[in-house]
Amino acid sequence: MNRAWLLALGVFATIVASVTGLVLLPDRQLRGTQPVQDEDRGIALPAGYFGDAEEGRKVYMDLGCIYCHTQQVRPEGFGADIERGWGMRRSVARDYIHDEPPLMGTMRTGPDLMNIGARQPSEQWHYLHLYDPRITSPGSIMPPHRFLFEVRHSPDGLPEDAVRLPDEFAERKPAWIVPKERARWLVAYLKSLDHNYEVPEAR
């Protein structure tokens, strides 16, 4: 009992060291991180999320996509991310300066999505994939998100972004899927995920 103060001092020192090493020093090191300027396009990157993409980021969080997908490309020698085509370089802190909160994820039940907008720029691909992942990715274990769509069976009055379902995936033929607002937002966000630009710290 007479050494209780030593135990208390050890606990206090551990907390101080942890906060300093895990919070204060990284914050000081990264606080001034800024976007890089793309001289060819005249824009700063990463550009951040606006409009539908900003709303789609909320849908991504709401649907829990982070529990199966990461958004972090590992460096060469720490996995096969770059060999798989998930990005042209490793992810760096600069990539997340507009992300609040960062959606890096910890599980990879599905592929990394850090650059899914570059890998799959087609809206139609994303709509079909969300409606039934097995349409675009045979053997996928991702659950379908059909509640994000309305199904119609007549071509009359279809909006421009309606997508014809392959007959083998339609319960009644012909069938088109019409994305609801949350599907449009989510796809806008997924298409915005493109970090294939050069940064000095990853050269």
Q: How many CA atoms lie within 13 A of 198 on its CB side?
A: 5
* Whole-number average pLDDT of the chain: 94
Q: What are phi and psi of 151, to 5 degrees?
A: -105, 130
Mean pLDDT lowest among 6-15, 28-37, 74-83? 28-37
Task: Determine the pLDDT at residue 30.
Answer: 84
Evaluate if residue 2 carries a pLDDT over 80: no
Tell me the two tokens of residue 140. 């996928």
Q: What are phi and psi of 38, to 5 degrees?
A: -90, 105
Q: What are phi and psi of 89, to 5 degrees?
A: -155, 170
* Structure confidence at residue 27 as a pLDDT band (50, 70, 90): confident
Q: Averaged over 150-170, what is the pLDDT?
A: 96
DSSP labels for 39-66?
TTTTEEES----HHHHHHHHHHHHTTGG
Angle at 202 between CA 122 and CA 105, to 5 degrees: 55
Name the CA dihedral angle for 80, 86, 88, 94, rounded to a multiple of 10 degrees. Answer: -110
Q: Averaged over 26-55, what is the pLDDT?
A: 91
* Structure confidence at residue 26 as a pLDDT band (50, 70, 90): confident
Evaluate if residue 93 carries a pLDDT over 70: yes
C-alpha 43/C-alpha 32 separation (Å) is 19
Mean pLDDT lowest among 2-11, 167-176, 182-191? 2-11
Q: What percent of the chain has pLDDT over 70?
A: 100
For residue range 46-65, what is the model confidence (pLDDT) as tens digits? 999 999 999 999 999 999 99
Task: Determine the pLDDT at residue 56.
Answer: 98
Task: Determine the pLDDT at residue 1.
Answer: 58
List all residues 6 or more positions away from 68 whose beta carbon is below 8 Å from its beta carbon.
Answer: 105, 107, 108, 109, 110, 142
Task: Determine the pLDDT at residue 203.
Answer: 78
Q: Averaged over 13-23, what is the pLDDT?
A: 95
Evaluate if residue 90 carries a pLDDT over 70: yes
C-alpha 195/C-alpha 90 separation (Å) is 10
